[in-house]
Amino acid sequence: MALDSKTPKGPLKDKWTSYKNNIDLVNPANKRNIDVIVVGTGLAGGSAAATLAELGYNVKAFAYQDSPRRAHSIAAQGGINAAKNYQGDGDSSYRLFYDTVKGGDYRSRESNVHRLAEVSANIIDQCVAQGVPFARDYGGMLDNRSFGGVLVSRTFYAKGQTGQQLLLGAYSAMNRQIARGKIEMFNRHEMLDVVKVDGKARGIIARNLITGEIERHSAHAVVIATGGYGNVYFLSTNAMGSNATAAWKIHKKGAYFANPCYTQIHPTCIPRSGDYQSKLTLMSESLRNDGRIWVPKNMEDVMAIREGRKKPTDLSEEERDYYLERRYPAFGNLVPRDVASRAAKERCDAGYGVNATGEAVYLDFKSAIERYGKEQAKLKGINNPSADKVYELGQAIVEAKYGNLFQMYNKIVDEDPYKTPMMIYPATHYTMGGVWVDYNLMTTVDGLYCIGEANFSDHGANRLGASALMQGLADGYFVLPYTIGDYLSSDIRTGKIPTDTKEFDEAEKAVTDQINFFVNNNGSKSVDYFHKKLGKIMWEKVGMARNEKGLKEAMAEIKAVREDFWKEVNVPGTADEMNPELEKAGRVADFLELGELFAKDALNRNESCGGHFREESAETDGPQKGEAKRDDANYAYVAAWEYKGQPADAILHKEELEFNDIELKQRSYK
Amino acid sequence: MNLTLKIWRQKDANDKGQMVDYKVTDISEHMSFLEMMDVLNEQLINTGEEPVAFDHDCREGICGMCSMYINGEAHGPDRGVTTCQLHMRMFKDGDTITIEPFRASAFPVIKDLVVDRTSFERIQQAGGFISVNTSGNTQDGNAIPIPKKDADDAMDAATCIGCGACVATCKNSSAMLFVGAKVSQYALLPQGRVEATDRVQNMVAQMDLEGFGNCTNTGACEIECPKGISLENIARMNSEFMKANLKG
């Protein structure tokens, strides 16, 4: 099947407007006869469910957690971008579009990104109207901060809990519709397959996670909003339950999976401390507004610090290597995430890591605390303040900005980051790749949509900070409600979709068979045993730097782990009860397939772009020496994979990317 | 360190349930409490026993899913943290740790340490929202200036994660800190004032219907709240409720 992005004709800036003017609409009376299933209730799913219900569709929403409010969007810290230009610093929709395409290393679809930038400003207005308590300045106006990869301040925030507040906003909009009976909410339910009838998505099979009951749900369209697949690495900043099952199941039913190798390794996470570690914790990128990243210049100091003979605060300015400021003077500590992560890896690989594992660098707030302290002293009219007074005043400002993050760090690491620099190291955080969708956010299966992190569309090969929240809400509030209506307008005479059909029978049987297999297998190893093995292969061979040899080995090793899993996995308990191990088994089974496709995609893409760094493709000389080298002549396409039974057999379909409004350039942050 | 764990085991909602003793060894002080539970569960799986079911998800203190009652305190002995952020350095080698589910008649046990908190959902559905359509065609976000203090106070109230520690802690199983936080967030913002009367009345009515107790100003909820939600929010809700009732 040839990929058709269905991008509207016409100038870039007019595409979305003219699209909206020309689509078919469904009249309000007919909407009452149309059902839509939304799987996942994070920012994308929650906002979509609320808006579709508000428009009049009957929505069934599904979440594996006990409440929609607990979806992992809640953990996003730093902020949400919007081209409001409240700061008058030269921002515009075009600049947001440009920054996003450039930040994504020219591997995203122009038309989708431009639409995202266009609707971004409305998100802020919408959220303010919903009562989201964004930070404000003393004049009562909305405040902004800066994020990596841009030269303007366009990030709106609510302390370090922006994701929480935006999700609670979407959740409140959902609650309003649940109260009206327009959303039927299924908490503690997990989608285990999609049901296709005559080539169209017409329902799902779900498991009630309390009773174990397998349920059939039908609808005229199905929306997948289940987030990313970062947990393929076992350790990531994702929630423990975050999984790729819905996305992978639809892939196996015909939805192409795009660019799985584009994964974001976030530069500022708390380093791992031991084998028992169950997850990694992010420290918001917003900290890079005020924190400076460094390692010692001299190896003697590195060893002294590791052995506890010296403290980081003992080192003078001359003894520190602020390597981001050194390598990238224009953007400094605010280079994009992929660049910052690789730079940290480069220093640690060279032996300059500052903790026992050798995998940590410092994030230091001393300069910021002193700068703010001096400013405050001046504002308060204190002449010749003591160093302690300056520090005290400055600390209060830093605390107001990042207090919850500092507290979180203190609780985990048991060190006070106001007194000693934080230790950080990159960790898997976000997946830019995902289910392929067209301009309508529809997958290659009719009536099957995919929104938010679960799709591939807007961030190219690298996502800029504070853009995930923007995309999730844009898709759910402002894009899908239009595009899905155009599709559903042909379904007004269809009537209710029955669930007592052979398509539902078959899908349910496959789900039940797999569950029965797991609970009866009586293998010798736990689900986590396999998940950790997979994670280790992914991190070592498909992590921050990749090469042909490693990727080929990874594919073979993942296949071997998968085969062992299906022989030896041990799932205690039964199918007809709450059984967390059974839930995990199904998710890990899917990760064991996705991981191999991930490595295959990374192997195919013999260029470095964004979060995907191939060691074979780096600049060898000149001012950009060592930086990633893109290959636009051969790889300016979206790699969309079609499932053919085994991940290694997947067939590549290319969507060539056209850049009419942007000139492709080497991404330089120097 | 080596520890003895006394854990509540209950097969399902109908089972009577009981405390069961377990031993874990070689626990690192750097582990989180839930990582210690992972170690126990891995041990149980490998010896053919059924692992302990407990709610957890983000493991960074924000989703509100984890919910254990540890040594008689919601989220355990540390302050300002959820169970997933509690670290084993708070315990000593040889300790016996008692682990129970959050207990309240409005939070029935589903299995082991997992409880049903959908009563909170229904309270939110009764009025925990501003009735604005999500069309995006609202006025500009800066059209109404909001004093920084009001915005900050609303944020402090909105920071509630809906875990239910306040209910589990309260001797009356009162949900007033939870409901007060939501009522306050909206009461403090001009956007929320329009529906303030109906909101507080509907949410309080639903709270009573769910079987949560009343507030007798002990203040234990405020101390155990992982997000430090202030008792002021209960006072504000009471004031809003009185005003609403006077309006009728």
- Among partner residues A131, A187, A281, which is closest to B118 by beta-carbon distance? A187
Class in CATH terms, B3-111: alpha beta
- The pair of structure tokens assigned to A139 is 């004049």
Nearest CA in chain A to B64: A70
How does DSSP classify residue A264? Answer: E
Instruction: Please give the Cα distance from A296 to A421 (Å, whole number).
Output: 12
Q: Identify the band that residue B89 occupies on the pLDDT scale cut at 50, 70 and 90.
A: very high
- The pair of structure tokens assigned to B120 is 């909170």
Where is pLDDT greater, at A38 or B137? A38
Do A527 and A437 belong to one domain? Answer: no
Mean predicted lDDT score pLDDT of chain A? 96
In contact, A471 and A498? CB cutoff 8 Å: no
CA neighbours within 13 Å on the CB side: how many for A117? 26
DSSP class per residue in A509-531: HHHHHHHHHHHH---SB-HHHHH
Do A453 and A533 belong to one domain? Answer: no
Instruction: Please give the Cα distance from A333 to A317 (Å, whole number).
Output: 16
| Residue A475 covered by a domain | yes
Can you state the angle between helices A366-379 and A387-413, rounded to 10 degrees? 140
Give residue-wise pLDDT tens across range B160-196. 999 999 999 999 999 999 999 999 999 999 999 999 9
Is the CB of residue A240 less than 8 Å away from at least one CB of chain B? Answer: yes
In contact, B102 and B164? CB cutoff 8 Å: yes
Residues of B within 8 A of A76 (CB-CB) are none
* Side-by-side strand order, sheet with A257-258: A434-435, A257-258, A637-642, A651-656
Do A374 and A308 belong to one domain? Answer: yes
> Secondary structure of A208-247 in the HEC alphabet?
ECCCCCEEEEECCEEEECCCCCHHHHCCCCCCCCCCCHHH
| Residue A500 covered by a domain | no
Do A46 and A182 belong to one domain? Answer: yes
In contact, A209 and A63? CB cutoff 8 Å: no
In contact, A104 and A186? CB cutoff 8 Å: no
Do A176 and A126 belong to one domain? Answer: yes
| Residue A157 covered by a domain | yes
pLDDT at A403: 86
Catalytic option among A154, A216, A337, A546: A337
- Among partner residues A67, A135, A158, which is closest to B121 by beta-carbon distance? A67
In contact, A535 and A234? CB cutoff 8 Å: yes
Looking up tokens 């602020």 gives A322
Is the CB of residue A407 less than 8 Å away from at least one CB of chain B? Answer: yes
**Numbered ranges of CATH 3.10.20.30 in chain B:** 3-111
Do A296 and A333 belong to one domain? Answer: yes
In contact, A257 and A454? CB cutoff 8 Å: no
Instruction: Among A394, A426, A458, identify where a domain stops.
Output: A426
A274 has pLDDT over 90: no
How does DSSP classify residue A357? Answer: T
**Numbered ranges of CATH 1.10.1060.10 in chain B:** 117-247
> Secondary structure of A152-181 in the HEC alphabet?
CCCEECCCCCHHHHHHHHHHHHHHHHHHHC
pLDDT at A409: 94
Q: What percent of chain B has pLDDT over 70?
A: 100
- The pair of structure tokens assigned to A302 is 């590195």
Do A340 and A451 belong to one domain? Answer: no
Sign for the CA dihedral angle at A367, A396, A271, A532 comes to negative
Instruction: Please give the Cα distance from A657 to A225 (Å, whole number).
Output: 24
In contact, A424 and A357? CB cutoff 8 Å: no
Is there a contact between B42 and A54 if contact means CB atoms under 8 Å apart? no
| Residue A509 covered by a domain | no
Residues of A within 8 A of B49 (CB-CB) are 572
CATH number at residue A45: 3.50.50.60
- The pair of structure tokens assigned to A419 is 């007194």
End-to-end CA distance of chain A: 42
Query: Which of A166, A177, A240 best tests the B interface by mutation, with the highest count of B CBs <10 A?
Result: A240
- The pair of structure tokens assigned to A658 is 């056209």
In contact, A390 and A372? CB cutoff 8 Å: no
Do A70 and A115 belong to one domain? Answer: yes
H-helix or E-strand spanning residue A541:
helix A527-541
Instruction: Among A426, A448, A463, identify where a domain stops.
Output: A426
In contact, A201 and A38? CB cutoff 8 Å: no
Instruction: Please give the Cα distance from A214 to A191 (Å, whole number).
Output: 10
B34 has pLDDT over 80: yes
A430 has pLDDT over 70: yes
pLDDT at A1: 65
β-pair partners for A81: A155
Instruction: Please give the Cα distance from A588 to A243 (Å, whole number).
Output: 8
Sign for the CA dihedral angle at B200, B202, B207, B208 comes to positive
Do A295 and A418 belong to one domain? Answer: yes
ipTM of the complex in this document? 0.98
* DSSP three-state, residue A617: coil
Do A298 and A355 belong to one domain? Answer: yes
In contact, A414 and A247? CB cutoff 8 Å: no
105-134 in chain A: CB under 8 A from chain B: 119, 122-131, 133-134
Give residue-wise pLDDT tens across range A392-425. 999 999 998 888 889 989 999 999 999 999 999 9
Average confidence (pLDDT) over A571-579: 97
Give the distance from residue B6's alpha carbon to the nearest chain A alpha carbon, in angstroms: 21
597-636 in chain A: CB under 8 A from chain B: none
Print the domain residue range for A624: 522-636
In contact, A512 and A573? CB cutoff 8 Å: no
Is the CB of residue B198 less than 8 Å away from at least one CB of chain A? Answer: no
> Secondary structure of chain B in the HEC alphabet?
CCEEEEEEECCCCCCCCEEEEEEECCCCCCCEHHHHHHHHHHHHHHCCCCCCCCCCCCCCCCCCCCCEEECCEECCCCCCCCHHHCEHHHCCCCCEEEEEECCCCCCCEEECCEECCHHHHHHHHCCCCCCCCCCCCCCCCCCCCCCHHHHHHHHHHHCCCCCCHHHHHCCCCECHHHHHHHHHHHHCCHHHHCCHHHHHHHHHHHHHHCCCECCCCCCHHHHHCCCCCCCHHHHHHHHHHHHHHHHC
Instruction: Please give the Cα distance from A230 to A252 (Å, whole number).
Output: 19
In whole angstroms, what separates CA A500 from the centre of its chain? 37
| Residue A632 covered by a domain | yes
Do A108 and A47 belong to one domain? Answer: yes
pLDDT at B248: 66
Looking at the structure, give the CATH architecture of the domain made up of residues B117-247: Orthogonal Bundle (1.10)
- The pair of structure tokens assigned to B192 is 């929320």
- The pair of structure tokens assigned to A621 is 């000389």
Number of domains, chain A: 3
Residues of A within 8 A of B28 (CB-CB) are 274, 276
pLDDT at A117: 98
Do A240 and A293 belong to one domain? Answer: no
Is there a contact between A131 and B154 if contact means CB atoms under 8 Å apart? yes
| Residue A160 covered by a domain | yes
Give residue-wise pLDDT tens across range A80-111. 999 999 999 999 999 999 999 999 999 999 99
pLDDT at A2: 76
Average confidence (pLDDT) over A323-342: 93
Instruction: Please give the Cα distance from A19 to A245 (Å, whole number).
Output: 33
Instruction: Please give the Cα distance from A107 to A113 (Å, whole number).
Output: 11
- Does A216 qualify as catalytic in the annotation? no
Give the distance from residue A278's alpha carbon to the nearest chain B alpha carbon, in angstroms: 6
A585 has pLDDT over 70: yes
